[in-house]
Amino acid sequence: MNILIIGATSAIAKATARIYAERRQDLFLIARSEDRLKQLSADLTVRGAESVGYSVLDLNKFNEQEKAIDQAIGFLGTIDVVLICHGSLPNQQEAEISFRLAQKEINTNGLSVISLLTLLAEKLILQGNGTIAVITSVAGDRGRQTNFVYGAAKSMVSTYLQGLRGKLFPFNVAVVDIRPGLVDSPMTAHLKKGALWSSPDRVAGKIVRSIEKRKPTVYAPGYWRAIMLIVRLVPEFIFKRLKF
Ligand SMILES: NC(=O)c1ccc[n+]([C@@H]2O[C@H](COP(=O)([O-])OP(=O)(O)OC[C@H]3O[C@@H](n4cnc5c(N)ncnc54)[C@H](OP(=O)(O)O)[C@@H]3O)[C@@H](O)[C@H]2O)c1
């Protein structure tokens, strides 16, 4: 299988890429740090990847995304699976008083992903097969007062994916929305960990299985589906008083 991983140096992406490498797949990686891409490529090759290529890109440079995707297609031939992983967790209090910061975060977590999806959808329609998987977040399921800039961007992507899934269905292209809960990664290094936290490896296993099964919406780990069902059911007059 030919796998394109975008935001490939993220902890969750790396854990997923390692599973694919051990299965001897061909991989193409896109991320913004050349040093880390080199290291990761070497690691994946040692683990068994059939071939590994990469392209360096700050994904907020929307106009340069197509060139990187074309490089991926040039390397892989066709794309069987594309996994979009990049993201950033803003300081909510700063982002809600600075539109400049909010816009930057919405670009990273929302618009850069929609730009990629616009390009990738056309390429996969032409192929007539493939799977597009995107890491969104449980934070997009309901706007919480401690996290609503990030949550709004993730929710925008989830809604976009719902519609895109219908558009791509006749072309045999699956769209998988992966919504992790709390994952111990560099993004959350500053947060106190507890019982609900999981590892990038655990989430990666779920990502690979869900892509194989072409599942539409996936909570990772699965217990987050029940948690978010309850969170969505809390009446607004109570929810607006909750500081979590
Ligand atoms: N950790 C959680 O609790 C959690 C929960 C739900 C969803 N998620 C989502 O899971 C995904 C992976 O996050 P993670 O937990 O694995 O955290 P992570 O290791 O911090 O990964 C985030 C990645 O995004 C990359 N990135 C950010 N802005 C970028 C840009 N403009 N161009 C290119 N790359 C950019 C970062 O690149 P650099 O390494 O170069 O900085 C980093 O590799 C993200 O979409 C995140 O929102 C995480």
Q: What is the pLDDT of residues 180-224, one digit of tens each?
A: 999 999 999 999 999 999 999 999 999 999 999 999 999 999 999
Instruction: Report, as an integer, the average pLDDT of 97-114.
Output: 98
Instruction: Report, as an integer, the average pLDDT of 134-153.
Output: 98
Between the CA of 238 and the centroid of ligand 1 the distance, in Å, is 32
Instruction: Report, as an integer, the average pLDDT of 232-240.
Output: 97
- List pLDDT tens digits, range 171-187: 999 999 999 999 999 99
Indicate the domain borders of the chain: 2-239
Are the C-beta atoms of 108 and 62 separated by less than 8 Å?
no
- List pLDDT tens digits, range 37-76: 999 999 999 999 999 999 999 999 999 999 999 999 999 9
Dihedral (CA of 24, 25, 31, 34) sign: positive
Instruction: Report, as an integer, the average pLDDT of 155-175.
Output: 98
Nearest-atom index, ligand 1, CA of 60: 31
pLDDT band at residue 130 under the 50/70/90 scheme: very high
- pTM score over 0.95: yes
Q: What is the pLDDT of residue 244?
A: 87
For the Cβ of 33 lying below 6 angstroms from any atom of ligand 1, the answer is yes
Among 103, 146, 183, say which to mutate for ligand 1: greatest number of ligand atoms within 8 Å of CB.
183
> What is 2-239's CATH topology?
Rossmann fold (3.40.50)
